[in-house]
Amino acid sequence: MTKDYTQLWESLGLNLGKHEGLLTVLSDAYKNIYLSQKNRPEGMKYFDFVISEVHGLRIEELYEAKKNKRKVIGTFCVYVPEELILAVDGVFVGLCAGAEVGFEEAEEYVPRNTCALIKAFMGFKLAGLCPYAEMTDLIVGETTCDGKKKAYEIFNDITKKMYVMEIPNMKNESDRILWLNEVEKFKIKLENLTVKKITLDNLKKAVNIVNEKRKALKRLSKLRAYDPVPISGLDALLVNQISFYDDPIRFTQKVNELCDELEERVKRGEGVFPKGKTRILIAGSPFAIPNWKLHAIIENSGAVVVGEESCVGSRNYRELTDEKFSTVEEGIQKIASRYLTIDCACFTPNSERIDNIKNLKKALNADGVIHYSLQFCTPYMMESFKIDKLVDFPFMRIETDYSMEDFGQLKTRIEAFLETLQ
């Protein structure tokens, strides 16, 4: 970190001792997993810096934003429309949910057999380890899986900051109307919170900012189709994870600079690994930061991850919002329909997801797909069986959590799968 942020963390009520321990573990893991990689693009230096300051400089930026009367809005799901938050000059942040932290505390409120992502966001808050949660003026949840729905009730008792958007379970006409109403209600909620009106002008700007961010992530994804691949799966994952924390305009610029460099690598036929590596697409549950386990195992087993069919991945950037609208109401409709293209396993039926996996595998020239479900995540676990039966390419199902206990066992299974692909 560039400086000592103890005072800032103290003012946020963080548990300083435990927080120090968390940062040490995070920094050691980052050194071992990330900084030990060879041939990393120069452009990753920016993202290394962001990680080193994830609880420092970025929190200070949020603090400054709040001093300037901007509101900080925390989220846990790609269904929450970032465009509306930016349109009221709010700051959008994904909250800490990717590490086995505060589970003991969390298990006093939710059952042991709850998915790691839910236990982590409860645990980070209860253990006083998430400066982002402390910075928020509002935390927006969504009625996706049952676990989240019920956990948000408890999270509201703890934080008193929750607002929950109702996400339909299906995508019929009546569901579209329900969702459009929810997006309109969210607009009003944000306008009341910030005492700012969403105008055509600020909505258009916000839609454009988020579209540009998604375009940059798409550009990065396309570059991973080359062989040799110009960037590791671990690095690309990190960029996707940071997309939920960083200032969106600065982030887009840095991703585009990275892509410029990767394009040069492609022209020179240079890669981060030698040509001909086994190429894997991962599909399934999200990878909240610092969940790097699966990518690390695959890339240390002689293969490369070329894509993530995930909310921290293609589900977040695949579709853009149509920028052609001439009233705020029309803009809200465009935003609502864009979000309803997200193929979360919480929907039924969700057959477009299978097509999206097939298309992505083809576009990225992947040799096989590893389906990753967080343990106790019923929607993704159930869907993985169905996909397994419907695809005609090498497919492997994995259920895991944030702990390192199954590291060896996973590595053995993945190595066996990779052998079948050679």
Binding site for ligand BJ8 (CB under 6 A): 77-79, 115, 117-118, 144-145, 147-148, 285-286, 311, 342, 344, 346, 374, 377, 379-380
In the complex, minimum distance from the CB of residue 120 to ligand BJ8, in angstroms, rounded to a whole number:
10
Termini Cα distance of the chain: 43
In the complex, minimum distance from the CB of residue 78 to ligand BJ8, in angstroms, rounded to a whole number:
5
Which amino acid, one-letter code, is at 54? V
Q: Which two tokens stand for residue 9?
A: 């963390």
CA distance 89 to 202: 9
CB closer to ligand BJ8 out of 91 and 346 = 346
CA distance 359 to 389: 17
Residue 226 dihedral angles phi and psi, to the nearest 5°: -75, 155
In the complex, minimum distance from the CB of residue 136 to ligand BJ8, in angstroms, rounded to a whole number:
17
CB closer to ligand BJ8 out of 59 and 95 = 95
**Residue 363: enclosing H or E segment and its boundaries?**
helix 351-363
CA distance 308 to 44: 19
Q: Can you tell me which residue has the tokens 């997993």?
A: 33
CB closer to ligand BJ8 out of 33 and 344 = 344
Q: Which two tokens stand for residue 242?
A: 């940071």
CB closer to ligand BJ8 out of 147 and 248 = 147
Please give the angle made by the CA atoms of 362, 366 and 370, to the nearest 5 degrees: 115
Instruction: Please say whether the beta carbons of 339 and 320 come within 8 A.
Output: no
In the complex, minimum distance from the CB of residue 271 to ligand BJ8, in angstroms, rounded to a whole number:
30
Instruction: Please say whether the beta carbons of 7 and 63 come within 8 A.
Output: no
The CA-atom distances, in angstroms, between 152 and each of 75, 122, 144, 250, 347 are 11, 9, 11, 31, 19
Q: Which two tokens stand for residue 8?
A: 């800032």
CB closer to ligand BJ8 out of 78 and 198 = 78
In the complex, minimum distance from the CB of residue 150 to ligand BJ8, in angstroms, rounded to a whole number:
11
In the complex, minimum distance from the CB of residue 413 to ligand BJ8, in angstroms, rounded to a whole number:
20
**Residue 52: enclosing H or E segment and its boundaries?**
helix 44-52
CB closer to ligand BJ8 out of 117 and 220 = 117
Q: Give the CB-side neighbour count of residue 38, counting CA atoms within 13 A.
A: 7
CB closer to ligand BJ8 out of 117 and 216 = 117
In the complex, minimum distance from the CB of residue 16 to ligand BJ8, in angstroms, rounded to a whole number:
29
CB closer to ligand BJ8 out of 23 and 210 = 210
CA distance 260 to 266: 10
Q: Which two tokens stand for residue 264?
A: 């040069």
Instruction: Annotate 287-326 with b (16+ C-beta within 10 A) or e (fewer).
Output: bbbbbbbbbbbbbebebbbbbbbbbbbbbbbbbbbeeebe
CB closer to ligand BJ8 out of 285 and 356 = 285
In the complex, minimum distance from the CB of residue 294 to ligand BJ8, in angstroms, rounded to a whole number:
14
CB closer to ligand BJ8 out of 34 and 179 = 179
